[in-house]
Amino acid sequence: MPLPRTEAMTEFTTARLIQMFNAIARAIEADKDRLSALDGAIGDADHGVTMDMGFAAVTQALAGLDPVTTEPTQVFNTAAKSFLNAVGASSGPLYATAFMRAGAAVKGRASLDRDAMVAATAAMAQGIQDRGKAEPGEKTMVDAWLPAAEALQAAAVEGQSLQACLRAAAKAAEQGAEATKAMLASKGRASRLGERVLGHMDPGAASAVVILDAMAASATA
């Protein structure tokens, strides 16, 4: 007998959104060593560990929410608080801002359809850029998040499905992360290394790809 075709989901309920964060946490944990090694080449080698701590805390906090009575905005706000509590510096405030902005973008909604999910994801990217004050081309996670947001919104304008939009975002993030190898760093520790950072992918851009990949995978039922 043929396997049943997987039905494409059209919206994220609160339960789905919690599953999405759990999927991100699993993906980050699985890639923890690679992310820390990337950071080791141009920074302080802690990126995988800190991101794993952050998302493990998110998973734990979200497990305390009742998906039936909790709105998506509270899921994002809980994720923001728990991530920031676990990761006070560097990527902590960036992802906390991202999740707060996503929560604000979907306030009052009972579930997230394509346009709401696109708005939430684009708000994450904007939050990261605003909080980090990085411009594109500075070898940061912005170089993955901004092209992802642009591809996401372009796919939505074209009328593509929720999963196609998120897949377009993940693909653009991957290309953006790849492009950071050819960039010099003007932010953080890596900026002191000058041309020695050339050829190395920014770890924050790499983890953005992991996150967006997990989000896209979570949209496929």
The residue (of 46 and 138) whose beta carbon lies closer to Mg ion is 46
Spatial CB neighbours of 79, under 8 Å, sequence gap ≥ 6 = 21, 58, 61, 62, 99
The residue (of 46 and 202) whose beta carbon lies closer to Mg ion is 46
By CB under 5 A, the count of residues binding Mg ion is: 5
Q: How far apart are CA 16 and CA 45, in angstroms?
A: 32
Find where tokens 């090694």 sit: 37
Residue 72 is classified by DSSP as H
C-alpha dihedral over 81, 116, 110, 68, to 10 degrees? -60
> How near is the Cβ of 36 to Mg ion at its closest, in Å?
8
43 binds Mg ion, rule: CB under 5 A: yes
44 binds Mg ion, rule: CB under 5 A: yes
Pick out residues in 126-145 that bind Mg ion (CB under 5 A). Answer: none
113 in helix, strand or coil? strand
> How near is the Cβ of 178 to Mg ion at its closest, in Å?
20
Contact call for residues 208 and 216 (beta carbons, < 8 A): no
Q: Which of 17, 35, 38, 46 binds Mg ion (CB under 5 A)?
A: 46
Q: Which of 31, 39, 143, 174 binds Mg ion (CB under 5 A)?
A: 39
Q: How far apart are CA 211 and CA 202, in angstroms?
A: 15
Name the one range near Mg ion by CB under 5 A: 24-32, 42-50, 108-116, 175-183. 42-50
Positions that interact with Mg ion (CB under 5 A): 39, 43-44, 46-47
